[in-house]
């Protein structure tokens, strides 16, 4: 498989503080890469740099064009939709004008079409997250960037979200970059991992490289983890 993304010597600075130092990595096409690291490790900053939302030094080389990348930021919460009388349909109109397509894609993520006239802020957090996935899938992107997609959802809801992502990854040949704290997700769903704490600590196949020692180095404390059996 060829690389869909190559990052070389990436550096991001804010107010004279280095948020990311000398980070280089590659992402193969068709992988689910989990970006792992403690709070403040620069994970969200990394995603924002990859999307050209912030200034950076170094090289970021995507083999796909910008409009083939879909991004769902961590900062996007249901609250933000409260200020406007915006319906689910309006929100999707940013990407497609065809109502038929909208209903179809809502079905794919198991959302009923009657929510189309509601304000996204009125949905449950699980429904909202599904809505964002559906929104991200409009226009057949090749790459999905997800920043902690399940922070505010209960465990059962989280399983659903990751199962959905996994299904779309398989069906649509996607490459997914995922920021998460959840080690179960890393083992259960991703086939590549990048550990960062301002700089790169490790990268490779999760089951091979995520040793208890490494996790302790990453999070600065002993981490309980479960290694899934083949």
Partner 1 sequence: MSQFLISLITTLFISAIAGYLGSLMFTKRMALVGGPLGHLALPGVALALVYNFNILWGAFLTIILGIIIIWGLEIKTKIPTEALTGIIFAAGVALGFLFLPMDHAKEALIGDITNIGKLDMILSIIFSILVFIVIRKIYLKFILIGISNDLAKSEEIDSRLYNFIYLICIAFIIALEVKIVGTFLPVALVAIPASIANNLSKNLKQYSFISLGVGALSGLIGVLLFKQTGFPAGPLIILTATFFFLLSLFYKKA
Note whether 70 binds partner 1 by CB under 8 A.
Answer: yes
Helix %, strand %, coil % of the chain (to 5)? 40, 25, 35
Nearest-angstrom CA–CA distance, 143 and 66: 10
In the beta sheet, which residues pair with residue 6?
A: 26, 61
Task: Determine if 138 is a binding residue for partner 1 (CB under 8 A).
Answer: no
CB 59 within 8 A of CB 8: yes
Contacts 24+ apart (CB under 8 A), 214-218: 215/183, 218/36, 218/37, 218/38
163-202 residues near partner 1, rule: CB under 8 A: none
Per CB under 8 A, does 64 bind partner 1? no
d(CA 78, CA 67): 24
75 is an interface residue for partner 1 by CB under 8 A? yes
Which CB, 75 or 221, lies closer to partner 1? 75
Stretch that binds partner 1, among 6-14, 27-35, 78-86, 159-167 (CB under 8 A): 78-86
Shortest Å distance, C-beta 89 to partner 1: 7
Minimum CB distance to partner 1, residue 226 (Å): 33
Select the residue interacting with partner 1 from 21, 26, 63, 93 (CB under 8 A).
93
Helix (H) or strand (E) holding 21: strand 17-28
Question: How big is the site for partner 1, counted in residues (CB under 8 A)?
Answer: 27
Q: Which residues bind partner 1 (CB under 8 A)?
A: 48, 51-53, 66-67, 69-73, 75-76, 80-81, 83-87, 89-90, 93-94, 117, 119, 145
């Amino acid at each position: 498989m060829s690389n869909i993304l190559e990052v070389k010597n990436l550096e991001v600075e804010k107010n004279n503080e280095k948020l990311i130092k000398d980070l280089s990595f590659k992402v193969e096409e068709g992988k689910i890469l989990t970006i792992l690291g403690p709070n403040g490790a620069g994970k969200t900053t990394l995603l924002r740099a990859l999307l050209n939302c912030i200034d950076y030094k170094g090289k970021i080389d995507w083999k796909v064009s910008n409009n083939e990348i879909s991004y769902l930021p961590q900062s996007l919460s249901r609250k933000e939709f409260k200020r406007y009388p915006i319906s689910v349909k309006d929100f999707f109109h940013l990407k497609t004008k065809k109502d038929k397509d909208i209903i179809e894609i809502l079905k794919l993520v198991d959302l009923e079409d009657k929510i189309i006239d509601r304000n996204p802020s009125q949905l449950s957090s699980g429904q909202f997250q599904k809505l964002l996935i559906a929104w991200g899938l409009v226009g057949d992107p090749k790459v999905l960037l997800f920043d902690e997609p399940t922070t505010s959802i209960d465990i059962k809801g989280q399983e659903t979200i990751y199962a959905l992502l996994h299904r779309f990854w398989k069906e649509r040949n996607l490459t997914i970059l995922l920021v998460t704290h959840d080690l179960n997700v890393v083992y259960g769903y991703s086939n590549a991992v990048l550990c960062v704490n301002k700089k790169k600590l490790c990268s490779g196949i999760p089951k091979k490289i995520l040793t208890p020692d490494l996790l302790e180095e990453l999070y600065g404390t002993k981490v309980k983890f479960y290694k899934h059996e083949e």
